[in-house]
Amino acid sequence: MQRRALLGRETERRALAALAEQAASGSGGAVVVLGAPGIGKSALVAEAAARAADRGARVITAVGVESEEDVPCAGLHQVVHQLRDGIDDLPGPQRAALRAAVGLVDGSVPDLYLVGLAALTLLSDAAVKAPLLVVVEDAHWMDRASLDVFGFVARRIESDPLALVAVTRSLDDRLGGAGLPVLHLDPLTDEVSGELLDAVAPGLGPQVRRRLLVEAAGNPLALTELPVALRSVGGAYALTPGPLPLTERLERTFTARVSRLPVDTRAVLLLAALNGDGTMDECLAAAARMLGTAVDMAALGPAVGAGLLEPWGMVFRHPLVRSAMHHAATAAERQAAHAALASSSRGSPTGRRGTAPPPPPAPTRTRRGTWTPPPAEPCDAAVSPRPRPRCGERRS
Ligand SMILES: Nc1ncnc2c1ncn2[C@@H]1O[C@H](COP(=O)(O)OP(=O)(O)O)[C@@H](O)[C@H]1O
Ligand SMILES: [Mg+2]
């Protein structure tokens, strides 16, 4: 598949190229590439890996998989499998520990130190034949034991033609505690965002273009996928005030882990997404009404941990979390949430939202990637300035 050239990211590309070059010259190292979903971590690392491979390096990749998060050493197994020819050359105790760790033989859970040492020896031995780049992708979904081992290895790479690049959405994992250098990916600049949007969707009207840039907030996945989703409903949809249509990939990206959150957290997130001009108190009161039990600020904690909300309040980490929460809910859930919001505010001293109609219906995804549009309601409200930070909205 033809890969689209990366735009911007010059500093980060130079940093990864320098790491690969150092490894090739025999003094490797490790780095953690950190950034939000869709921000371009994998694309950046894939480009660096392709360049290293062109220059003669061997690249091996282990990928964290959500369904294997609790399978000890599942990530390590991927690496060991690719280097299995070298296992027999390991010193006896290391060989035994590594085999037991990845389930090649029965045995008690081996000592982490010995497994780490074995992995380091295996990688260093392989790196003697050709410089080796190990990519630990989606480390946020990798099992803890593997991350412990990769962290152990990464801290000890010195005079080997070996580099380890771990890619993660959050530093709350074992690699975060390993004290490795971190390459943090920020949103693309406005200029690069505009360039990317114009490349994937040339000829957008100025208002639609502006709305997409605002909603994407420098996230390249959003910049490339929002125009795709919009294409099926017509560009004018971007001028309506409701949530934008999303592709399945965008929805999945921005609601990752939502299904695992506690029920009160999910309720508050949905209410925050629907209650665009409301307050946090309204959301909490409506959640209590929806669930029939008290709901307080503690319900926000898991959403912060999942990277959906900012730690300082009920503010979405990315504008598209709002749209994604909206689309990820069933029609019945949205209806219940609207009802709870309406009756909470009827009971509030201001009654501000008591008679407010629900927002216009969002397009409904009927099949993978296809949408049934609501009646078009052209409106400029979506691009007009907003007077104050609101429930679920990023303060910028
Ligand atoms: N700097 C960039 N220039 C152009 N496209 C980019 C850039 N960074 C990422 N992309 C594109 O955005 C999408 C999401 O990037 P990806 O690397 O998968 O994000 P992440 O791994 O952080 O979730 C991909 O289609 C990728 O090709
Ligand atoms: Mg990725």
Q: What is the pLDDT of residues 289-301, one digit of tens each?
A: 999 999 999 999 9
Relative orientation angle of helices 331-346 and 263-274, to the nearest 10 degrees: 80
For residues 313 and 393, give the distance between their C-alpha atoms in angstroms, rounded to a whole number.
Answer: 10
Using a 10 angstrom Cβ sphere, with 0-12 exposed, 13-18 middle and 19 or more buried, the burial of residue 12 is buried
Query: So what's the architecture of 10-184 in CATH?
Result: 3-Layer(aba) Sandwich (3.40)
Confidence of residue 348 (pLDDT cuts 50, 70, 90): low
Q: Say which residue, 310 or 220, is predicted with more confidence.
A: 220
To test the pocket of ligand 1, the residue of 224, 225, 248 to mutate (highest count of ligand atoms within 8 Å of its CB) is 224
CA of 362 from ligand 2 middle (Å) equals 28
pLDDT tens, 113-143? Answer: 999 999 999 999 999 999 999 999 999 999 9
Query: What's the confidence (pLDDT) of residue 262?
Result: 94
**Strand-by-strand arrangement of the 182-184 sheet:** 58-63, 132-137, 162-168, 29-34, 182-184
How does DSSP assign 40-62, residue by residue?
Answer: SHHHHHHHHHHHHHHTT-EEEEE
Domain boundaries, the chain: 10-184, 190-243, 252-383
Q: Whose CA is nearest to atom 24 of ligand 1?
A: 221
Q: Is 242 helix (H, G, I), strand (E, B) or coil?
A: coil
Residue 46 Cα: closest atom of ligand 1: 17
Ligand 1 pocket check for 318: Cβ under 6 Å: no
Ligand 1 pocket check for 197: Cβ under 6 Å: no
Q: Closest ligand to 43 CA? A: 1
pLDDT tens, 204-242? Answer: 999 999 999 999 999 999 999 999 998 878 877 788 878
pLDDT at residue 387 greater than cutoff 50: no
Ligand 1 pocket check for 42: Cβ under 6 Å: yes
Ligand 1 pocket check for 363: Cβ under 6 Å: no
pLDDT tens, 244-273? Answer: 889 999 998 988 778 889 999 999 999 999
Pick the range with the lowest mean pLDDT from 184-188, 194-198, 235-239, 242-246.
235-239
Residue 196 Cα: closest atom of ligand 1: 4
Ligand 1 pocket check for 75: Cβ under 6 Å: no
Query: What's the confidence (pLDDT) of residue 74?
Result: 95
Query: What's the confidence (pLDDT) of residue 179?
Result: 85
- pTM over cut 0.85: no
To test the pocket of ligand 1, the residue of 16, 165, 221 to mutate (highest count of ligand atoms within 8 Å of its CB) is 221
Range 25-53 average pLDDT: 96
DSSP type of residue 261: S
pLDDT tens, 137-162? Answer: 999 999 999 999 999 999 999 889 99
Q: Whose CA is nearest to atom 20 of ligand 1?
A: 38
Ligand 1 pocket check for 196: Cβ under 6 Å: yes
Query: What's the confidence (pLDDT) of residue 3?
Result: 65
